[in-house]
């Protein structure tokens, strides 16, 4: 029997979770933009717009300390970050293109060496996804195999209904536990009809075919053409739910400071620059090629997944209008 | 012998960026003439005020300065002919920028102190120190140093505050 | 100045108007490519999504016939002449489609000896304005979807271009939102101003889009990259962000042409042009400098007068 | 240091000795401060580590000492960047951080019973030096050992004292060379580029493994020479390097195509290198 939660009760749920001292993160109006931020009350939740940044930052912060060092009485001491202090978190109101990203990133963060900063946050968080009834002409989640109602990655999945309430499906045990702990906010019933989804402009892509083309066309005139205008900023990578590249830097003096891990982008000219001055990806189109290859070939080679959820953020944000969906369509339509 | 000095509740940290040819010599003169001035000032010597990048001033505030003094040769006396003329324009612009983002300009002083003006150095330093003392510590940049984006903070103060207010 | 142009002030600019500019640009681009005046033309091509456009370097007549101008042509193309297309300039003269605001950047770059006028063929656009961010892209420009910077545009006419495409038209009775915002901030108590900027800068993710689209940010090594010594913290935290944006504003003072590209591309909507505008205002007041359409000998912070104001110096 | 699951946490090591190999290349001999780490740290020839200079960050170098020599590790670097220059400023007794060992290694056991030819250029000797000493310490397991090493000038030759030692040993054939114009009056080696000198030295390819490491240009001209000498791509090993931050396959910058140098490498056969996307 599906569970139903009214919008008011959803907001009440947030209030309760905040009271339980959980870190509740959801879309919230911050200045003039909607971002995933800690909600302090149910009324903070804004479900009108796709947040500018993806929800990956709950697991993979923009910038976080990974250790601190201090010289004490002449002896250097390195201190680990106490990851047990990471809060129990609930991500609420993430559409499938955001909720689905941890399911993709888990692979790279846990193969062989395990990034406990990411994984600990993952273990401590519950993801409440929500079916997407908005979307614009930049959206292409269907094209990369997701859908506005895809439950992948969500622990509890909400489907907006026409009467303003939500049908809930507890996808995982974490989701069930969340419902069970607040059972009085949910009611059983068939509920109203779901709100309709928005059509997407990009047709479903044949990702296998795209990957094959990428495999055979490391050198191709296409790369020169599409990245010709790329100005080399990191906007696409930083707001992407799936981009996971990072940099590690020390900040502080030689006696006292922290080492930080923070977002980095393959579009930056210095990303792969050797100290000697040699740069394997010395021009912008090689860097852009790496972006596409990483998402649609390399990641699949390594982990069997596509590193893209079709959220369309990079399309909306690109200063020069580079459209990854258009590039994929171009590749998809190639004959050989 | 130890000179008895007045004890204050707050001793401001003042960073002085000075040019080596005029103001540094002026400060030296003040010292050799045994003039007294507040020990709050930390002097950093540069070849010329033209070398003093506005980012140094920012950095000083970020790292805990409560007041900053920039001082060099009088116009026309620059060892490098025009360094201080250029600096004058740059600092005029920088002041406007700092003001626009909400920094109190009373914490930032510019002055021309020549090698012969030990007394002026003492006046400038004393005045700035006392002014900043009455203003109290400069919290803005220092607070910023400890702030994190919410995702990188293990437990943000805002959250704590929120919990407290709800609880 | 705009009072004179009253007869050209309308309530909306129809797609036809942009179509006429498009035709003129195409004609000119084809001509200069055909007679080999230029090796390529930097212009705009339509994007996949309706009502979008993106920059392009066209080198053939066929491509040139696809160039467009629409309210979606927001980019300042002069950035390509100092960054990505640097190499093109070495091969010969380049044509560039430039709005008035873009031409100020070209003039500034010439002032700084980054460009030579004779290396450029400027197809000036008599521009009535372009779209703002996140607005409805209907093809028609109205008060509702015009960019904030265009509301106070003083350079509709691209004077000094080799040719000008389009006829003068501009929207009537635009509220100067940016000037109002400036006034609002200036009127704030100091602590509130700090809070305003702190909140904005804290959102910054250091994607460097502002730097990368800026025609004037052409340094090979940026102060905010990893340096020795490190003046600006390179990790994206509030402290480093504040320093970065102040340093950037300072580095652009007296150089910025006011194209507001930094503000447009900011994925976090930080009103960066306000900083640039504040600096421009100060330099106008103090040294009577204004970024114009013609190159000058030296920028205001590269020269001095012996009697410059020094009332703030003891 | 207590056991932690933080993969970015380095072990602390003390600089026990410093050797200046050339005016800008320096070797640090490091001893782990924690007794347990010191005893348990083991690695294989070819693996690398992340060395940190606190306040400046981390840098990636191979472990240049031989795994057969316990109790310490050595790294060798040219000071060209932020971190390396700060490492250079450190003195004996100072502390650095070491994370590792990471990456794959040379399959030394597979080389047993074979002859070995080491070919290195400039600062690229350290990655092979670990193998050279590893093999010399197990000398009876191998047949002939030939080392061809060249640098731009006499001053740029690293491990000068060890070159001398190898030269004096009769179970090693050392051919050292410098680029034309780089030889001093007393230079006792050959003058010429590594590929040319290698061709002259003409080691037999019979039952032999070639290990090559050097700047891209040297590799480019050395591979055809090896081919002419009869080496197959499977018998040529090299070690790659790329800018790295994490060293553990997360940060996404060291990849050459879909190959992560930090995880799948740094040691590759010539066949593997040729199959890669040409982006290094």
Mean pLDDT of C94-111: 94
Min Cα–Cα distance to chain D from A309, Å: 19
Asked whether the predicted pLDDT for residue C1 surpasses 70, the reply is no
CB contact under 8 A, C226 and D82: yes
- CA-wise closest residue to C25 among C75, C58, C67: C67
Mean pLDDT of D103-129: 91
Cβ-Cβ contacts under 8 Å for D203 (sequence gap 6 or more): D115, D117, D144, D146, D148, D210, D229
- Please report whether residue B44 resides in a domain: yes
Last residue of a domain, one of D72, D102, D132: D102
Q: What is the pLDDT of residue C3?
A: 45
Q: Report yes or no: C252 and C226 within 8 Å, Cβ to Cβ.
A: no
Q: What is the pLDDT of residue D3?
A: 62
Cβ-Cβ contacts under 8 Å for C288 (sequence gap 6 or more): none
- Residues of chain D found within 8 Å of residue A117, distances taken between Cβ atoms: 6
Q: What is the pLDDT of residue B158?
A: 45
pLDDT digits (tens, 9 = 90+) for D246-264: 989 999 889 898 899 998 9
CB contact under 8 A, A19 and B167: yes
Residues D76 and D120 in one domain: no
According to DSSP, the β-strands at A3-5 and A166-170 are antiparallel
- Please report whether residue B52 resides in a domain: yes
Half-sphere exposure of A31 (CA within 13 A, CB side): 18
CB contact under 8 A, A64 and B151: yes
Residues D26 and D52 in one domain: yes
Q: Report yes or no: A289 and A215 within 8 Å, Cβ to Cβ.
A: no
- Please report whether residue B159 resides in a domain: no
- Detail the DSSP E strand segments found in C47-152: 53-58, 94-98, 120-125, 141-142
- Please report whether residue D272 resides in a domain: no
Q: What is the pLDDT of residue D279?
A: 75
Q: Report yes or no: A18 and B140 within 8 Å, Cβ to Cβ.
A: no
Q: What is the rounded distance in angstroms from the CA atom of residue A196 to the CA atom of residue A193?
A: 9
Length of chain C: 314
CB contact under 8 A, D252 and A69: no
Q: Looking at B129-133, C229-233, D78-82, which range is the least confident one?
A: C229-233
- Which of B89, B102, B141 comes nearest C197 by C-beta? B102
pTM value is 0.91
3-state DSSP call for residue C45? strand
Q: What is the pLDDT of residue A256?
A: 87
- Please report whether residue D19 resides in a domain: yes
**Structure tokens belonging to residue B84:** 């201080």
Asked whether the predicted pLDDT for residue B3 surpasses 90, the reply is no
Min Cα–Cα distance to chain B from C28, Å: 42
Q: What is the pLDDT of residue C252?
A: 95
Which strands make up the sheet holding D11-20, listed edge to edge? D57-62, D48-53, D95-102, D11-20, D25-32, D73-78
- Please report whether residue D269 resides in a domain: no
Q: What is the rounded distance in angstroms from the CA atom of residue A219 to the CA atom of residue D277?
A: 9
- Contacts of D214-217 with C-beta under 8 Å, sequence gap 24+, read D214/D119, D214/D120, D214/D121, D214/D122, D214/D124, D215/D121, D215/D122, D215/D124, D216/A278, D216/D280
Residues D95 and D153 in one domain: no
Q: Report yes or no: A178 and A128 within 8 Å, Cβ to Cβ.
A: yes
Residues D89 and D205 in one domain: no
Q: Number of folded domains in chain B?
A: 1
Residues D231 and D119 in one domain: yes
Mean pLDDT of C250-273: 94
Average pLDDT, chain C: 90
Candidates A59, A113, A255: best to mutate against D (most CBs of D within 10 A) is: A113
Which strands make up the sheet holding C53-58, listed edge to edge? C53-58, C40-46, C94-98, C120-125, C163-165
- CA-wise closest residue to D158 among D134, D110, D130, D123: D123
CB contact under 8 A, A18 and B166: yes
Q: Which residue of A has its CA nearest to D55?
A: A254
Q: What is the pLDDT of residue B113?
A: 96
Residues D121 and D16 in one domain: no
pLDDT digits (tens, 9 = 90+) for B71-108: 999 999 999 999 999 999 999 999 999 999 999 999 99
Asked whether the predicted pLDDT for residue C307 surpasses 50, the reply is yes
Q: What is the rounded distance in angstroms from the CA atom of residue C109 to the CA atom of residue C115?
A: 6
Candidates C201, C244, C307, C314: best to mutate against B (most CBs of B within 10 A) is: C314
**Structure tokens belonging to residue A335:** 């004959």
CB contact under 8 A, B55 and C247: yes
Mean pLDDT of C256-263: 93
Residues D130 and D212 in one domain: yes
Residues D87 and D139 in one domain: no
Residues D90 and D71 in one domain: yes
3-state DSSP call for residue D187? coil
Q: What is the pLDDT of residue C169?
A: 86
More confident residue, C1 or D206: D206
- Please report whether residue B78 resides in a domain: yes
Peptide bond into D101 cis (omega under 30): yes
- Which of B155, B162, B165 comes nearest A85 by C-beta? B155
Report the CATH number at residue D134.
Answer: 3.40.50.80
Q: What is the rounded distance in angstroms from the CA atom of residue A263 to the CA atom of residue A60?
A: 8
Q: Number of folded domains in chain D?
A: 2
3-state DSSP call for residue A15? helix
Min Cα–Cα distance to chain C from D193, Å: 34
- Which of C186, C232, C237 comes nearest B149 by C-beta? C237
- Which of B149, B155, B163 comes nearest A63 by C-beta? B149
Q: Tell me whether C229 touches chain D (CB under 8 Å).
A: no
Q: Report yes or no: C42 and C99 within 8 Å, Cβ to Cβ.
A: no
Residues D81 and D151 in one domain: no
**Structure tokens belonging to residue A262:** 């923070």
Asked whether the predicted pLDDT for residue B162 surpasses 50, the reply is no
- The parts of chain A modelled with pLDDT lower than 70 are 1, 336
Q: How buried is D183 (Cβ within 10 angstroms: 0-12 exposed, 13-18 middle, 19+ buried)?
A: middle
- Detail the DSSP E strand segments found in chain D: 11-20, 25-32, 48-53, 57-62, 73-78, 95-102, 115-121, 145-151, 173-178, 190-191, 208-213, 236-239, 255-256, 259-260, 267-269
Last residue of a domain, one of D45, D71, D102: D102
Residue C2 confidence class, pLDDT cut points 50, 70, 90: very low
Q: What is the pLDDT of residue D13?
A: 94
- Residues of chain C found within 8 Å of residue A268, distances taken between Cβ atoms: 208
Asked whether the predicted pLDDT for residue B166 surpasses 50, the reply is no
Cβ-Cβ contacts under 8 Å for D224 (sequence gap 6 or more): D195
φ and ψ at residue C132, rounded to 5 degrees: -85, -175
Q: What is the rounded distance in angstroms from the CA atom of residue D176 to the CA atom of residue D212?
A: 14
The domain containing residue B45 runs over which residues? 14-138
Asked whether the predicted pLDDT for residue C6 surpasses 80, the reply is no
- Residue labelled with tokens 């652009």: C252
The domain containing residue D47 runs over which residues? 11-102
Asked whether the predicted pLDDT for residue C41 surpasses 90, the reply is yes
- Which of B102, B124, B152 comes nearest C194 by C-beta? B102
Q: What is the rounded distance in angstroms from the CA atom of residue A299 to the CA atom of residue B142?
A: 42
Q: How buried is A194 (Cβ within 10 angstroms: 0-12 exposed, 13-18 middle, 19+ buried)?
A: middle
3-state DSSP call for residue D13? strand
- Which of B151, B154, B166 comes nearest A57 by C-beta? B151
- Please report whether residue D245 resides in a domain: no
Length of chain B: 167
- Please report whether residue D46 resides in a domain: yes
- Please report whether residue D248 resides in a domain: no
Mean pLDDT of D69-82: 90
State what percent of residues in chain C have pLDDT above 70: 96
In DSSP terms, D98 is beta-bridged to D11, D51
Within 10 Å of residue B39's Cβ, how many Cβ atoms?
11
What is the C-alpha end-to-end distance of chain C, expressed in Å? 40
- Residue labelled with tokens 């593997």: D272
- CA-wise closest residue to C251 among C237, C264, C262: C262
Q: What is the pLDDT of residue C102?
A: 93
Candidates C221, C225, C226: best to mutate against D (most CBs of D within 10 A) is: C226
More confident residue, B154 or A196: A196
Interface A-B, measured as beta-carbon pairs within 8 A, has a size of 46
Interface C-D, measured as beta-carbon pairs within 8 A, has a size of 3
Candidates A15, A27, A61: best to mutate against B (most CBs of B within 10 A) is: A61
Cβ-Cβ contacts under 8 Å for A43 (sequence gap 6 or more): A11
- Please report whether residue D212 resides in a domain: yes
- CA-wise closest residue to C83 among C240, C218, C243: C218
Last residue of a domain, one of D102, D118, D146: D102
Q: What is the rounded distance in angstroms from the CA atom of residue D247 to the CA atom of residue D243?
A: 9
Q: What is the pLDDT of residue D202?
A: 84
- Which of A21, A57, A81 comes nearest B163 by C-beta? A21
- Residues of chain A found within 8 Å of residue B163, distances taken between Cβ atoms: 18-19, 21
Peptide bond into D75 cis (omega under 30): no
Residues D93 and D197 in one domain: no
Residues D150 and D189 in one domain: yes
In DSSP terms, A261 is beta-bridged to A64, A248
Report the CATH number at residue B30.
Answer: 3.40.50
- Please report whether residue D254 resides in a domain: no
Q: Report yes or no: D52 and D97 within 8 Å, Cβ to Cβ.
A: yes
- Residues of chain A found within 8 Å of residue B162, distances taken between Cβ atoms: 18, 38, 40-41
More confident residue, B89 or B2: B89
Report the CATH number at residue D43.
Answer: 2.40.30.10
Peptide bond into C246 cis (omega under 30): no
Q: What is the rounded distance in angstroms from the CA atom of residue A59 to the CA atom of residue D40?
A: 33
């Amino acid at each position: 029997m599906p569970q139903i939660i009214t919008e008011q009760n959803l907001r009440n749920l947030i209030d309760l979770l905040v009271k339980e001292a959980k870190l509740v993160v959801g879309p919230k109006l911050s200045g003039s933009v909607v971002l995933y931020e800690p909600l302090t009350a149910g009324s903070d939740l804004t479900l009108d717009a796709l947040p500018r940044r993806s929800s990956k930052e709950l697991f993979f912060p923009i910038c976080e300390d990974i250790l601190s060092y201090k010289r004490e009485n002449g002896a250097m001491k390195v201190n680990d970050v106490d990851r047990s202090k990471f809060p129990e978190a609930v991500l609420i109101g993430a559409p499938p293109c955001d909720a689905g990203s941890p399911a993709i990133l888990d692979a790279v963060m846990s193969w062989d060496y395990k990034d406990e900063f990411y994984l600990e946050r993952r273990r401590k968080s519950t993801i409440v996804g929500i079916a997407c009834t908005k979307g614009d002409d930049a959206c292409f989640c269907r094209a990369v195999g997701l859908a506005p109602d895809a439950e992948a990655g969500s622990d509890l999945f909400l489907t907006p209904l026409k009467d303003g309430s939500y049908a809930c499906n507890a996808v995982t045990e974490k989701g069930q536990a969340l419902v069970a702990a607040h059972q009085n906010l949910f009611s059983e019933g068939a509920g109203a009809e779901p709100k309709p989804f928005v059509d997407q402009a990009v047709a479903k892509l044949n990702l296998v075919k795209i990957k094959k083309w990428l495999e055979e066309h490391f050198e191709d005139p296409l790369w020169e053409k599409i990245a010709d205008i790329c100005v080399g900023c990191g906007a696409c990578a930083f707001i992407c739910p799936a981009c996971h590249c990072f940099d590690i830097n020390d900040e502080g003096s030689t006696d006292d400071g922290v080492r930080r891990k923070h977002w980095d982008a393959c579009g930056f000219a210095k990303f792969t620059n050797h100290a000697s001055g040699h740069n394997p990806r010395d021009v912008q189109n090689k860097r852009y090629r790496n972006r596409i290859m990483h998402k649609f070939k390399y990641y699949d080679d390594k982990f069997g997944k596509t590193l893209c959820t079709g959220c369309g953020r990079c399309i909306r944000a690109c200063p020069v209008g580079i459209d990854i969906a258009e590039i994929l369509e171009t590749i998809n339509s190639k004959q050989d | 012998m130890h000179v008895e000095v007045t004890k204050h509740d707050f001793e401001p940290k003042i960073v002085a960026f000075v040019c080596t040819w005029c103001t540094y010599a002026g400060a030296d003169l003040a010292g050799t003439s045994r003039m007294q001035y507040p020990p709050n000032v930390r002097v950093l010597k540069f070849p010329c005020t033209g070398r003093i990048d506005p980012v140094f001033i920012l950095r000083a505030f970020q790292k805990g300065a409560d007041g900053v003094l920039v001082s060099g040769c009088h116009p026309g006396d620059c060892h490098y002919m025009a360094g201080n003329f250029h600096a004058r324009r740059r600092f005029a612009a920088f002041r406007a920028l700092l003001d626009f983002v909400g920094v109190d300009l009373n914490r930032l002083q510019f002055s021309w102190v020549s090698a012969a003006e030990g007394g002026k150095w003492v006046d400038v330093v004393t005045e700035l120190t006392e002014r900043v003392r009455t203003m109290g510590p400069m919290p803005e940049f220092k607070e910023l140093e400890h702030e994190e984006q919410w995702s990188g903070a293990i437990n943000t103060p805002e959250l704590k505050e929120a919990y407290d207010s709800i609880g | 100045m705009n009072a004179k142009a009253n007869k050209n002030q309308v309530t909306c600019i129809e797609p036809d108007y942009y179509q006429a500019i498009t035709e003129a640009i195409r004609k000119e681009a084809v001509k200069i490519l055909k007679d080999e005046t230029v090796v390529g033309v930097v212009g705009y091509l339509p994007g996949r999504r309706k009502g979008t456009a993106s920059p392009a370097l066209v080198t053939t007549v066929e491509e040139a016939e696809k160039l467009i101008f629409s309210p979606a042509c927001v980019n300042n193309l002069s950035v390509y002449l100092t960054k990505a297309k640097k190499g093109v300039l070495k091969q010969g003269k380049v044509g560039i489609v430039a709005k008035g605001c873009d031409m100020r950047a070209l003039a500034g770059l010439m002032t700084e000896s980054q460009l030579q006028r004779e290396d450029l063929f400027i197809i000036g656009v008599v521009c009535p304005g372009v779209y703002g961010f996140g607005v409805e892209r209907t093809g028609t420009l109205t008060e509702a979807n015009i960019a904030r910077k265009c509301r106070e545009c003083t350079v509709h006419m691209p004077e000094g271009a080799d040719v000008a495409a389009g006829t003068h038209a501009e929207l009537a009775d635009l509220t100067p939102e940016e000037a109002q915002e400036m006034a609002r901030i200036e009127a704030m108590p100091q602590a509130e101003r700090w809070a305003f900027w702190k909140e904005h800068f804290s959102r910054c993710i250091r994607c460097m889009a502002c730097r990368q689209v800026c025609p004037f940010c052409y340094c090979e090594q940026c102060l905010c990259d990893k340096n020795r010594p490190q003046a600006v913290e390179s990790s994206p935290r509030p402290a480093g962000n504040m320093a970065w944006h102040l340093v950037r504003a300072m580095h652009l003072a007296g150089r910025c042409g006011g194209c507001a590209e930094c503000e447009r591309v900011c994925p976090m909507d930080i009103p960066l042009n306000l900083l640039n505008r504040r600096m421009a205002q100060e330099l106008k007041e103090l040294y009577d400098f204004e970024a114009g359409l013609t190159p000058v000998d030296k920028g205001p912070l590269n020269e001095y007068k012996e009697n410059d104001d020094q009332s703030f110096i003891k | 240091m207590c056991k932690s699951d933080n993969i970015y946490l380095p072990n602390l090591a003390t600089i026990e000795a410093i050797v200046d190999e050339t005016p800008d290349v320096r070797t640090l001999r490091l001893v782990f401060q924690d007794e347990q780490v010191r005893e348990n740290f083991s690695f294989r020839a070819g693996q690398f580590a992340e060395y940190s200079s606190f306040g400046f960050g981390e840098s990636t170098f191979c472990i240049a000492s031989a795994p057969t020599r316990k109790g310490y590790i050595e790294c060798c670097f040219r000071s060209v960047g932020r971190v390396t220059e700060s490492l250079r400023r450190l003195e004996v007794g100072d502390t650095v951080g070491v994370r590792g060992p990471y990456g794959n290694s040379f399959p030394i056991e597979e080389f047993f019973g074979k002859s070995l030819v080491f070919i290195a250029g400039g600062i690229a000797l350290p990655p092979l030096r670990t193998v050279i000493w590893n093999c010399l310490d197990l000398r009876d397991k191998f047949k002939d050992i030939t080392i061809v090493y060249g640098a731009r000038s006499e001053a740029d030759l690293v491990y000068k004292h060890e070159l001398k030692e190898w030269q004096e040993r009769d179970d090693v054939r050392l051919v050292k060379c410098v680029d034309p114009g780089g030889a001093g009056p007393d230079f006792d080696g050959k003058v010429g580029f590594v590929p040319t000198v290698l061709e002259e030295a003409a080691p037999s390819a019979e039952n032999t493994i070639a290990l090559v490491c050097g700047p891209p240009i040297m590799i480019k001209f050395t591979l055809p020479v090896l081919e002419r000498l009869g080496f197959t791509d499977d018998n040529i090993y090299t070690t790659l390097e790329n800018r790295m931050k994490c060293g553990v396959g997360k940060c996404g910058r060291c990849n050459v195509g879909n190959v992560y140098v930090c995880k799948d490498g740094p040691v590759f056969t010539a066949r593997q290198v040729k199959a890669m996307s040409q982006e290094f």
